[in-house]
Structure 1
Amino acid sequence: MIVNLTQKLDQFSRRWSKRSKKISKIYLLTFLLPLTAIIWRVLYRGYHYNGWEIASTAEGLYMIDGLGLWGAIKQSFYLTRHCAYCGNDGLITHILQGGLAYLFPWEFWPHLISFIFFILVFWFAGISFELKDRQWSILALALGSSATLLSFSVTGGEYIKSLLPHALALLIIFHPFFRKHWWAGILLGLFAIELSWHSYPLAKTIFIPFL
């Protein structure tokens, strides 16, 4: 009887091991599919991008070259509050990308920054809802199901960058750390609001998650 029980347990463990390997491959595939789609977009576009994707970087480079770094930062803060199209002259859209281009000239800085912000938004969203292990694959599938989102993740436009303040807002609202440490939530909230002034105008809807 003991021998039979041992054999059954051994068979069960083997089946579970095979099943877990299959499940692991499926979860790995959920990350590989959107990553492959992004790589394909980069290879397909190559150097064929529109001028608007590097316009902010070019203007930021012009501001730093003409006013110096500190002067460009002050000008950027002024323009985010005193312009008809506020936010498109901010630290993220102009100074960060223009500063990198000033130090290391490369035309794809805005595209790389967009992808980094895309990863940050993905990461903050997962942390906000305290996703565990394989639960991250659900979020990866959700992001990967949007062809528009994947395309904008590797373009030089400012659209993806405007999502970061909202991701920080979700982090403040849902993560238990900020429920226990309200002062940290206030500080990060003020930072997220200020960040929205330096992003694409859609970022200024950051007040919606807090309602």
Structure 2
Amino acid sequence: MIDRRVVVLVVPAVGTWAPPGREPEAWRLALAEDTYEVLAALDLVEVAVAVVGGDAAGLAAIAALTWPGTPVYAADSVLDAVDKAGATAATVAVSHDVPDLPGLLIGKLFRALSSADIAVTPAEDGSLCAIGVRRPVAPWVAAADPAFDTPLGTLEHLKPRRHAVALGPGWHRLRSGADLARLDPGLEGWDATRALLRGK
């Protein structure tokens, strides 16, 4: 039985923004691959990949980026992805566009979920990089149906008690040209994203 050691990488079926001159689908897959590699390297974590709105071809494209045995499945939302992960205690869902995310931030969310209903890593643009949910899902969290674009203020407004929402350290998502400046060329990892930016 899987308990607290589940991280679900949630990937949209269709890419959105991509840097000029880069094919959006290739960019989406590069980001997803690098974010998956960050999560797969974590200790005591079971990693699965959920594709929101994905068909068979889309699932196969994502599955080709993962290690053998990694569950890859379709989901309708973040909470649907969390539910299908099958953890009994807590699950963290991570957006696909954080290829340089420090793994330490995921551990902080799991620790926060010992008392909070939901724990999040906020992004600099006002969205969320990661959403951790304690199981069983609290009714107010289910009603809120949080997504990575849900403003933190919305969760704070809806929470039924002071410590129901835990806030982890912030990070950044790659959603615009300005976000690319946050990538550190000297930092190990994000190899697929780096190669695509270099035109390889």
Could you state the TM-score of these two structures normalised by the residue count of structure 1? Answer: 0.22
Richer in strand (by share): 2
Richer in helix (by share): 1
Structure exhibiting the larger radius of gyration computed from Cα positions: 1
Could you state the TM-score of these two structures normalised by the residue count of structure 2? Answer: 0.23
